[in-house]
Amino acid sequence: MPAMPERAGSPSPAPPLLTTLKGVGPKLAERLHRLGLRTVEDVLLHLPLRYQDRTRVIPIGQLRPGEEAQIEAEITRAEVTTRGRRFLLCHLSDGAGALTLRFFHFSPAQEQLFGQPGARLRCFGEVRSGYTGGLEMIHPECRRIDPDSPPVTDRLTPVYPTTAGLQQFTLRGLAEQALALLDTATLLPELLPQALRARLHLMSIAEAVRGLHQPPADTALAELDSGRHPARRRLAFEELLAHQLSLRRLRARVRRQAAPPLAGEGGLSGRFMERLPFTLTGAQRRVLAEIGTDLAQPRPMLRLLQGDVGSGKTVVAAAAALRAVETGAQAALMAPTELLAEQHYRNFRDWLEPLGVEVAWLTGRLTGRARRTLLERLASSAVHVAVGTHALFQDAVVFAELALAIVDEQHRFGVHQRLALREKGQRGGRCPHQLIMTATPIPRTLAMSAYADLDTSIIDELPPGRRPVKTVVVPDSRRDEVSARIRQACRAGRQAYWVCPLIDESEALQCQAAVVTAEQLTALLPELRVGLVHGRLPAAAKEAVMAAFKAGALDLLVATTVIEVGVDVPNASLMIIENAERLGLAQLHQLRGRVGRGTMESSCVLLYRPPLSQVAHARLGVLRQCHDGFEIARRDLELRGPGEVLGTRQTGEQTLRIADLLRDQDLLNAVRHTADELLRDHPETVEPLIRRWIGGGARYGEV
Ligand code: ADP
Ligand code: MG
């Protein structure tokens, strides 16, 4: 890891650690860490999931089953039943109505408390209809009250996200302590300038935090629960702003570095184009020109290349790589899986070696002599283009002069990996150009916030002759019909995929195992050559199967979603996807993109297991009608949220704590403008904002 530039002297002291709160020892601190809480500020920013209304006492006669409510009543009688399961029943009356408390676990102290007829209790819990027809509460929170007891609270009671062994009352107590410290100016200082807050109608951070932890009784619960409450939006705004600033700062730092200008005379690229069996589409030429302009600059390119499945991003990547090679430098292409890396390697080798360009392949599997030799060749410039998995950015890998780093299907990689590759080529203050390609189109607002460090190029045109993949939605009871379809396609000399979402029956609840499916299909279609590929096969076996399929030596390939991205076998014209109702739209679209890559008619059968809910039906319907990846991504975003669309769920990358890119989309424009303004007029706020929200854990935003 290269040395990091010195941080400017921090304008605000670090927020106090959790252990400064009363009652927090090492054990509790450990549990709180599990929730991501390390400082007192973190406690304040750990917002309730929902609220309970304990501001009112409801007469028993007005209770409705299913509601959470607070009651006050007198004990009339208690009993411990020992028939069957042992439990404690405590009968209560508030004069007008009766209710029973039921406990399956109880302490001697509780037994004693409830065994006092005439004692008054205040209870909070969910009301349900009891076994005998009356109303019940199971394991309510109870306390004994007398005439001197404090009145009910005038605040809504927060319910926090928690973890095993951490009780709500502990979290509530900590939040209370932290809120009391809010008045001491050093905790959670206001970082947004007053004028800006006034203009955007943003309350102060202290007011927002207080309002969310201890909302007054008259706060609209619906607004709180939907996340649209102004206090929550105030925090969401600041969080989005911090992320925006961190990416922008990252960009600024990278752009300040020098990069090798790649402006060769273009001979290699020219010959490459001439030899291609097709001509580039207008969109491919346009993005290549955009990339070319960037590469010619003495500053690192930071560009995101978006394009629908099958729009031809790989060839653009290869042409870009040649720009580096033409000036005597190197390029690297990183793919998220071995399968893809292997395929890119073959493509690049077939395209580039006839031009005298040395292409090498590096994966984690390469060991011993072969690996050492390859590393030497990379370090000595004998290899011009390296293709591989993330093995490319291990420490031992040194490039002689890496001028361009290309990352394919980037959403599988986290921002951190993106940074690591960027650092790879950093030598003597020089930084490689970077091109990121996404497999799945990303809706514009989302791209502008999640990739604020990148410029964007879009291939918005498919190669000519492509026909939309005919998509049908079929219950899996009609498998026979489906196998007849496969037989027909293969007889016509085509090939087919059969995709099963999970590998192994043990981990599958309903998903059919690829292994079993392959056996069944082999039995069912004895005349076909059936292959099987899944993530747990040894890499060599995987490759052998893929190569056989590509060469036409297999008719039907049964696979898990390992073939989701990038796999390119133009002769395949039929795809069956099992348990389609379990996959996201963008993922289905991506899978479907494995067919329809040639000019022949292709189809995709989405098999589902009935019954299919209305929503699921509508979701699959989107795929039947829609063939535009951007549109599908937009719908997917609505249906499943940004974590899935951006792939942050898969990479486990730090996600937003309070904001929600979908719900808070309408803030994103203001966030971007505010970021400009702060960078220009209040640069001193940038570092503390990033530190507050992104923290020391993430190197996100630092280079
Ligand atoms: P993706 O953008 O999904 O990565 P690929 O780069 O794998 O797409 O390209 C899909 C297929 O289209 C490949 O077989 C590729 O060779 C082919 N292709 C790319 N560009 C063109 C073009 N301009 N005309 C015809 N076929 C093309
Ligand atoms: Mg691709």
Question: Nearest to residue 437, comparing CAs of 316, 322, 281?
Answer: 316
Distances (CA, A) of 62 to 59, 332, 522, 701: 6, 70, 64, 55
Could you tell me if 218 and 143 lie in one domain?
no
Distance CA 389, CA 343 (A): 11
Distance CA 547, CA 343 (A): 9
Among 278, 412, 467, say which to mutate for ligand 1: greatest number of ligand atoms within 8 Å of CB: 278
The reply to whether 250 falls in a domain is no
The reply to whether 338 falls in a domain is yes
pLDDT value for 646: 54
Atom of ligand 1 nearest to the CA of 314: 6
pLDDT for 5 beyond 90: no
Instruction: Return the CATH number at 124.
Output: 2.40.50.140
Among 305, 315, 440, say which to mutate for ligand 1: greatest number of ligand atoms within 8 Å of CB: 315
Any atom of ligand 1 within 6 Å of the Cβ of 310? yes
Q: Whose CA is nearest to atom 15 of ligand 1?
A: 312
Among 287, 314, 564, say which to mutate for ligand 1: greatest number of ligand atoms within 8 Å of CB: 314
pLDDT value for 682: 96
pLDDT value for 163: 87
The reply to whether 595 falls in a domain is yes
Any atom of ligand 1 within 6 Å of the Cβ of 314? yes
Distance from Cα 538 to the centre of ligand 1, integer Å: 28
Could you tell me if 28 and 165 lie in one domain?
yes
**Would you tell me how many other CB atoms lie within 10 Å of the CB of residue 79?**
12
Last residue of some domain: 122, 152, 182?
152
Any atom of ligand 1 within 6 Å of the Cβ of 281? yes
> Residue 408 belongs to what domain range?
267-459
pLDDT for 60 beyond 50: yes
Could you tell me if 484 and 519 lie in one domain?
yes
3-state SS string for 516-540: HHHHHHHHHCCCCCEEEECCCCCHH
Instruction: Return the CATH number at 536.
Output: 3.40.50.300
Q: Which ligand is closest to the CA of 283, given by its number?
A: 1
Distance from Cα 314 to the centre of ligand 2, integer Å: 6
The answer to whether the CB of 584 falls within 8 A of the CB of 644 is yes
The reply to whether 683 falls in a domain is no
Spell 203-219 as b/e; 16+ CB within 10 A means b.
bebbebbbbbbbbeeeb
Among 311, 348, 569, 627, say which to mutate for ligand 1: greatest number of ligand atoms within 8 Å of CB: 311
Q: Whose CA is nearest to atom 23 of ligand 1?
A: 280
Residue 392 banded pLDDT, cuts 50, 70, 90? confident
- Higher-confidence position of 634 and 575: 575
Could you tell me if 290 and 428 lie in one domain?
yes
The string of pLDDT tens digits covering residues 469-479 is: 999 999 999 98
The reply to whether 659 falls in a domain is no
Helix/strand/coil for 145: strand
Q: Whose CA is nearest to atom 24 of ligand 1?
A: 463
Could you tell me if 376 and 485 lie in one domain?
no
Any atom of ligand 1 within 6 Å of the Cβ of 280? yes
The string of pLDDT tens digits covering residues 512-561 is: 468 888 999 999 999 999 999 887 777 788 888 988 999 999 999 998 87
The reply to whether 646 falls in a domain is no
Q: Which ligand is closest to the CA of 313, given by its number?
A: 1
Could you tell me if 356 and 410 lie in one domain?
yes
Any atom of ligand 1 within 6 Å of the Cβ of 418? no
Q: Whose CA is nearest to atom 18 of ligand 1?
A: 312
Atom of ligand 1 nearest to the CA of 570: 14
Any atom of ligand 1 within 6 Å of the Cβ of 311? yes
- The DSSP secondary-structure symbol of 567 reads -
pLDDT value for 496: 96
395 token code pair: 């420490």
pLDDT value for 125: 95
pLDDT value for 294: 96
Distance from Cα 557 to the centre of ligand 1, integer Å: 21
The string of pLDDT tens digits covering residues 649-659 is: 444 445 688 98
Any atom of ligand 1 within 6 Å of the Cβ of 463? yes
In whole angstroms, how large is the CA radius of gyration of the chain?
A: 31
Could you tell me if 218 and 323 lie in one domain?
no
The answer to whether the CB of 374 falls within 8 A of the CB of 362 is yes
Q: Whose CA is nearest to atom 25 of ligand 1?
A: 463
Distance CA 495, CA 309 (A): 19
DSSP E strands, 259-371 = 302-307, 330-334, 359-362
pLDDT value for 423: 65
- The DSSP secondary-structure symbol of 102 reads E
Instruction: Decide the pairing of beta strands 330-334 and 385-388.
Output: parallel
The string of pLDDT tens digits covering residues 329-367 is: 999 999 887 778 888 998 999 999 999 999 999 988 888
Last residue of some domain: 431, 459, 487?
459
Could you tell me if 495 and 580 lie in one domain?
yes
Any atom of ligand 1 within 6 Å of the Cβ of 462? no
pLDDT for 257 beyond 70: yes
Atom of ligand 1 nearest to the CA of 281: 23
Distance CA 389, CA 337 (A): 6
Among 469, 568, 571, 630, say which to mutate for ligand 1: greatest number of ligand atoms within 8 Å of CB: 568
Distances (CA, A) of 585 to 30, 309, 590, 648: 39, 13, 8, 16
Counts for the chain of helices (H) and strands (E), in that order: 25, 21
Could you tell me if 452 and 328 lie in one domain?
yes
- Find tokens 């809706």 and name the residue: 443
The string of pLDDT tens digits covering residues 66-96 is: 999 999 999 999 999 887 788 899 999 999 8
Any atom of ligand 1 within 6 Å of the Cβ of 460? no
Residue 699 banded pLDDT, cuts 50, 70, 90? very low
Could you tell me if 364 and 447 lie in one domain?
yes
Could you tell me if 410 and 284 lie in one domain?
yes
pLDDT value for 250: 82
Residue 410 banded pLDDT, cuts 50, 70, 90? low
Question: Nearest to residue 36, comparing CAs of 701, 697, 700?
Answer: 697
Q: Which ligand is closest to the CA of 410, given by its number?
A: 2
Distance CA 472, CA 309 (A): 19
Last residue of some domain: 571, 602, 626?
626
Q: Which ligand is closest to the CA of 568, given by its number?
A: 1
**Would you tell me how many other CB atoms lie within 10 Å of the CB of residue 339?**
24
The answer to whether the CB of 560 falls within 8 A of the CB of 585 is no
pLDDT for 696 beyond 60: no
Could you tell me if 330 and 453 lie in one domain?
yes
Atom of ligand 1 nearest to the CA of 317: 6
DSSP string of 440-503, one letter each residue: S---HHHHHHHTTTSEEEEE--PPTT--PPEEEEEEGGGHHHHHHHHHHHHHTT-EEEEE-SBS
pLDDT value for 9: 41
The string of pLDDT tens digits covering residues 151-183 is: 899 999 999 999 888 999 999 999 999 999 987
Residue 408 banded pLDDT, cuts 50, 70, 90? confident
The reply to whether 690 falls in a domain is no
The reply to whether 566 falls in a domain is yes
DSSP string of 106-131, one letter each residue: --HHHHHHHT-TT-EEEEEEEEEE-T
534 token code pair: 């899944």
Distance from Cα 550 to the centre of ligand 1, integer Å: 15
When divided into structural domains, the chain yields a total of 4
Query: To 10 degrees, the CA torsion angle through 164, 169, 171, 174?
Result: -140
Distance from Cα 440 to the centre of ligand 2, integer Å: 10
